[in-house]
Amino acid sequence: MATKKSTAASLPTKVAAAKPDRSGELPTDVGNGGELHQHDGVTALTTNHGVAIGDDQNSLRAHPRGPTLLEDFILREKITHFDHERIPERIVHARGTAAHGVFELTASLEKYTTAKILTEVGEQTPLFTRFSTVAGGAGSSDTPRDVRGFAVKMYTKEGNWDLVGNNIPVFFIQDAIKFPDLIHAVKMEPDRGFPQAASAHDTFWDFISLTPESMHMIMWAMSDRTLPRSLRMMEGFGIHTFRLLNAKGESTFVKFHWRPSLGLQSTLWDEAVKIAGADPDFHRRDMFENISAGNFPAWDLAVQLFTEDDAAAFPFDHLDSTKLIPEELVPLKVIGRMTLNRWPNNFFAETEQVAFCPTHLPPGIDFSNDPLLQGRLHSYLDTQLSRLGGTNFHQIPINAAKVPVNNNQRDGHMQMNQPVGRVAYEPNSLMVDGPRETAKGFRSVAAEEGGTRGRIRSETFADHYSQARQFFLSQTAPEQTHIAAALVFELSKVEHPHIRAAMVAHLRQIDETLAQRVGSALGMKTLPAPAPTGTPAEARPPSPALQIIGNMKDTLEGRAVGVLVADGSDAALVNDLLGAISKAGAAFKIIAPHVGEVMLSDKSALQVDGQLAGTPSIMFDAVAIIVSSAQAAVLLKEAAAIDFVRDAFGHLKAIAHDAGGQALLEKAGVEPDAGVVSAADKAAFIAAAKTRQWEREAKVRNLP
């Protein structure tokens, strides 16, 4: 198979800059050597021990598509240093939310695997699932534009299985050796300590502009997928290819998908920004309130199964984590269901201390040679050793297996067990009933690995644009517009023109119209030449499965409606509308100018859930305004009331109103459309509330 050595994109021409006065600063060439390595006038990249590095783009592999070698001291040093950069907060995924639940298998995969959790139909396996943002710290908000972590720890009868993924099926990089660079680039810039939980800054886009393999992921990151309406309404993906191993020793490739029972839904960018200000804990609160109310979130577990021969026919390499397998090529098979039904008793003890590791697999599941996965197999364990204080983190209750643990590992920091006896080794003849190897234990797939070892990336990893183009062209028109708008927003925050130009050059390889839209909005008179590539994008058929809008469920189940009322609101109208909302499966909250109770027109009292200024319309999927004419006259002088209406309309939500509400709509400049209906027309409101009014968007904001 053809191979090539992968390198970063060509560096831009160095921009001359005034040299700051650094007199009195400590020397930067800390070490024993004094002088830095020089080669052709360029400072050489070295290990922490001064050894010059010849290739910082690729891990050492047995062959171009082979497993990563433990011998790779450069990879291990770089990843280990990265893993230990933060104490004790997670470096990535620091802000998380989690819940307990169960997994029930509904279709056996006994033909493909011996793993009991995938073969015993009806068996309920306890689990713990953690959702998280990636870039921000533990104190950041819930709703930034960011990838979301989606990690599930299943306490199976054969040991723990950690399926550690994201809500995006692909990733930014192909090789784990680049993970520290990616995260260093997206995190706060080290000289200034900001921005927090944001990718709209120079270091991130500088790295991305020099890393063409990231272009597919950038399309996902700039899409509405990174602005989920709720953690209950996003997908989860194992990202990598894994292997299943059956009783005969036969191997089948597998990719894992979590599909939410409530369907997909996202916020708009302006909405996400305002939610972060109104309720930084929006997603965490949403999960807590729904589990507490018995509205248990659920996901189907689906798999894509394929053979070596199937993989050989793909127009991409399934070992490349920047690629996905379209569902039209390999359909999903639903095999089980996860339900989250219990909130943790203690956030620190469980949500904060839970430790996920991709290395935690039961017999019957195995790894592939994906070089990103291969690096993660080292990184996650190494991170837990640092973050949780030592090798005994598996004894923390949330991490402990629910089956007996028997081995000869002893002692260590925070050892809570008290092993007995004189034997702590194997094999031995002194403890006849001690733990021994078993034929039913974990087995690795017997796969031939031949070829020339080296820091070589397979030629099959070289296509960086075809799936990026496929993803963009698969989106609906509003979703394409949102991608363009996100790129404009992010790149407009970049100070260096050459970085903006480099990104637009990449966009020209993805879609010329997209590049034109972004370049024009960034004020470019002419577009830069397309980015150089040895592998131009191929035309791939659109994949409707990649959309959000086209795949939204026709339901209000799991959604929330805000109903703005005041003293004197029409009791019959309010009660009829609340009944219709509940019947449709949605929750509702009563919003009023004050907390406590409001007195409706029939003198009945209605409990208020939120005060108007503190509960804006951004918190809801649809709103209704039912106020008397007298109260409307008062609210016309209240900015929070006008904003309540204006934001709901600007965020494309359905609005129900009575005569008093109409006065607020007129004050807010709302032009009636199909999504603005009379509160008396319950059916029309429920129908409109199930989706956004996408045709309205062009009327309320200028988008690229």
What residues act catalytically?
93, 166
Alpha carbon 683 to its chain's center: 35
Instruction: List the beta bridge partners of residue 156.
Output: 159
Burial class of residue 308 in the structure, from the number of CB atoms within 10 Å of its CB (0-12 exposed, 13-18 middle, 19+ buried): exposed
User: Strand pairing of 96-105 and 42-43?
Assistant: unpaired
Q: What are phi and psi of 201, to 5 degrees?
A: -160, 165
* Selection from 236, 224, 216, 286 nearest residue 550 by Cα: 224
CA distance 74 to 679: 65
Sheet strand arrangement including 560-564: 610-611, 587-592, 560-564, 622-625, 654-657, 676-678
Task: Match 């959790």 to its residue by tokens.
Answer: 117
Helix (H, G, I), strand (E, B) or coil at 141: coil
User: Strand pairing of 333-342 and 560-564?
Assistant: unpaired
360 close to 254: Cβ distance less than 8 angstroms: no
Alpha carbon 699 to its chain's center: 31
The residue type found at 446 is A
The Cα angle at residue 546 between residues 94 and 136, in degrees rounded to 5: 15
The Cα angle at residue 465 between residues 464 and 467, in degrees rounded to 5: 100
CA distance 288 to 285: 5
In 38-176, the DSSP E strands lie at 38-39, 42-43, 96-105, 124-133, 148-156, 159-166
Q: What are phi and psi of 143, to 5 degrees?
A: -115, 25
- Sign of torsion over alpha carbons 617, 618, 620, 623: positive
Read off the DSSP letter of residue 16.
Answer: P
User: Strand pairing of 242-245 and 3-4?
Assistant: unpaired
